[in-house]
Amino acid sequence: MRTDLERNERRDVEAAGAAVMLSVVQHAASVPSCAAAGGLSDHDKENEIKKLEAEKQKLCEKSMGDDCCARGWKYFSGKCYYFPTDKKTWTASRDACVAAGGDLVIVSSTELQDFVNRRILPFITGYHYYWVGLTDAVKEGDWRWIDGTPLSTTSRMWSSDQPDNWKGERGEHPEGEDCAAMALRSTSYFLFDKFCDDRFNRVCEAKTQIK
């Protein structure tokens, strides 16, 4: 089994490789068109950048890729994730994620869900919910991710008897529950529809970036 030191060293080496590759990508992107001078055509240059981007992706995967993300963000499977510790309404959470360079997380796979849940546990306090980028505010019952993708109708992500568009004990929330949050129940995380004005933690998602 590797020691922590060995793991760190390996990671440093891989991160250095990623840094070199990133600078190559940056360089390629900054080379002016030299088709007229007999150099790379725009088309070749584009292909070269695509190839280098793919290489960068591989290096990001190998080195766990936090170097491909903004400071404090964590890399997973081609994207970056951020786990702030403060609590906000769904809309304010989304605004904060956008201001930080991303948006609320779209939980597009069980692997991503597992990654997010493992990472967010230490950051969640009090009542354990965190906002995700899923809402039925536009049309009741039509749950869509913030990129417009409908939530699969066969999704097993909802907790039992959710979503219920609850309106409160005395109907004090006539608008019902239109924003989705994830919470731990027993040993798994599930989706709940909640009042959009509730204040919870959040997970932001962003594209990787070339530094």
Identify the DSSP state of 88. B
Does the protein bind Ca ion through residue 14 (CB under 5 A)?
A: no
Q: Which of 136, 195, 202, 205 binds Ca ion (CB under 5 A)?
A: 136
Match 């005395």 to its residue by tokens.
170
Does the protein bind Ca ion through residue 66 (CB under 5 A)?
A: no
Q: Which of 14, 66, 67, 178 binds Ca ion (CB under 5 A)?
A: 178
Determine the Cα–Cα distance for residues 117 and 123; give it in Å rounded to an integer: 10
Of the two residues 67 and 136, which places its CB atom closer to Ca ion in the complex? Answer: 136
Quick one: 71 exposed, middle or buried, by C-beta within 10 A (0-12, 13-18, 19+)? Answer: exposed
Q: Which stretch binds Ca ion (CB under 5 A): 94-102, 112-120, 127-135, 160-168?
A: 160-168
Does the protein bind Ca ion through residue 180 (CB under 5 A)?
A: no
Q: Where are the alpha helices (DSSP H) in the chain?
A: 4-30, 42-62, 90-99, 110-120
Determine the Cα–Cα distance for residues 112 and 34; give it in Å rounded to an integer: 42
Site string for Ca ion, 19-58 (x = CB under 5 A): ----------------------------------------
Does the protein bind Ca ion through residue 143 (CB under 5 A)?
A: no
Does the protein bind Ca ion through residue 191 (CB under 5 A)?
A: no
Q: Compute the least distance from the CB of residue 193 to Ca ion, in Å.
A: 5
- Shortest Cβ contact with Ca ion: which residue? 165
Q: How many chain residues bind Ca ion (CB under 5 A)?
A: 4
Q: Which of 24, 100, 165, 167 binds Ca ion (CB under 5 A)?
A: 165
Length of the chain: 211
Q: Where are the alpha helices (DSSP H) in 100-206?
A: 110-120
Of 60, 103, 93, the closest CA to residue 206 belongs to 103
The three-state secondary structure class of 64 is: coil
Q: Which of 105, 176, 189, 206 binds Ca ion (CB under 5 A)?
A: 176
Interface with Ca ion by CB under 5 A: which residues? 136, 165, 176, 178
